[in-house]
Amino acid sequence: MEKEKIVIDSGEEIDAQAPIIISASRSTDIPTFYSDWFINRWEAGYIKWINPFNGKPLYVSFKNTRAVVFWTKNPKPMFKYLDYLDKNIPNYYFQYSLNDYDLEGYEAKVSSVQSRIKTFQELSNKIGKKRVVWRFDPLILTDDIDIDELLKRVKNIGDQLKDYTQKLVFSFVDIEIYKKVKNNLKKEQVNYIEWTPKLMNEFAKGLYEINKDWGLTLGTCSEKIELDKYDIIHNKCIDDDLMIDLFSNDKALMDFLGVKIEQADLFSDGKVIKKRKLKDKGQREDCGCVMSKDIGAYNTCPHECNYCYANTSKEIAKKNYKLHLENLNGESIK
């Protein structure tokens, strides 16, 4: 990743990473809780990111950034900045997680399903349905939520979103590999059921049948299991193919992705040639995302989701968010 010299708020000149693609963010919900901070830092030209493993700061410059991928459960607080984004950020799209665990309260501080569906439709109308990817993430089985119930809930949402997106991405909740998830679910006394390949196939088959009426692209997120017989792909959430489709006029971005676009002429229809493999090696083996820099921070999202992999506890996340509100002009989220 390229480096740039930047001058930080203190006046000191330092080295900073200068990524082409920004992920905002896998670690916290920036559009919901940190949209003001994000815009302020974009204006400043950089952020300070704290490495969660060693606590060391890393500076990230936006100088070379050509695309931003937003991850959120509620983009509404960012609506006031959409005009700003259109003018100042070359290319962006949203990964919008819209689950239905209202009855169980698994997402304690997230607004109702119907409210979030309305927000999804509004965002899609504003920026286009290709740029709003629907995520039902994660899929959770419990004593009270079996596969038929999950499919019923997914269908209810999808019936209302089918004209407002082109893709549904889902994942099966990972419990054993994420200590935080396991501890948080046990703390909240969620009687979860582990997914097995048999159960995954049963769900995928049901979703395949439902999707005959929707016609969406279906994809899994960081799942090893092959579900192609149900027309389900391995998704790339930081997606070079989607960027090529949406932002092919951005030469700097296309150069980074290793893309050459042959123009159509009398003898051919034109085609896209990709020359670079940009898998993000910092992600899990089964993650298909291309290389980006995530600018979020763990233990900072106060949605209070019981299954969260990014928070050690709800209490710590709430405490850190409160500290953030006392320092809105900080270089980092926390």
Contacts of 225 (CB under 8 A, 6+ apart): 197, 200, 201
pLDDT in tens, 88-130: 998 999 999 999 999 999 999 999 999 999 999 999 999 999 9
> What does the H/E/C string look like for 182-211?
HHHHHHCCCCEECCCHHHHHHHHHHHHHHH
Domain extent, residue 93, equals: 3-325
Look at residue 134 and tell me if it is in a domain: yes
pLDDT, residue 265, reads 61
Whether 334 maps to a domain, the answer reads: no
188-213 burial: b if 16+ Cβ within 10 Å, else e: bebebeebeeebbeebbebbeebbee
Phi, psi of 79 (to 5 degrees): -60, -35
**Per the domain annotation, does 241 fall within a domain?**
yes
Count how many domains the chain has: 1
| Residue 304 backbone zone (phi > 0: left; psi -120 to 50: alpha; other: beta) | left
| 57-61: strand order across its sheet | 3-7, 13-17, 57-61, 46-50
78 within some domain: yes
Provide the pLDDT for residue 127. 98
Q: Which residues in the chain show pLDDT less than 50?
A: none
Any domain includes 112: yes
In a domain, 330, yes or no: no
Amino acid at 54: N
3-state SS assignment for residue 112? coil
Q: Cα–Cα distances in Å, from 243 out to 5, 17, 207, 274, 276?
A: 28, 22, 26, 12, 14
pLDDT tens digits, residue range 189-222?
A: 888 999 999 999 999 999 999 999 999 999 999 9
Residue 294 falls inside a structural domain: yes
Q: Which pLDDT score is estimated for 334?
A: 79
Is 310 part of a structural domain of the chain? yes
Q: Which residues contact 89 (CB under 8 A, 6 or more apart)?
A: 42, 65, 68
- Angle formed at CA 314 by CA 308 and CA 183, multiple of 5 degrees: 55
Torsion angle, alpha carbons of 49, 306, 179, 293, to 10 = -20
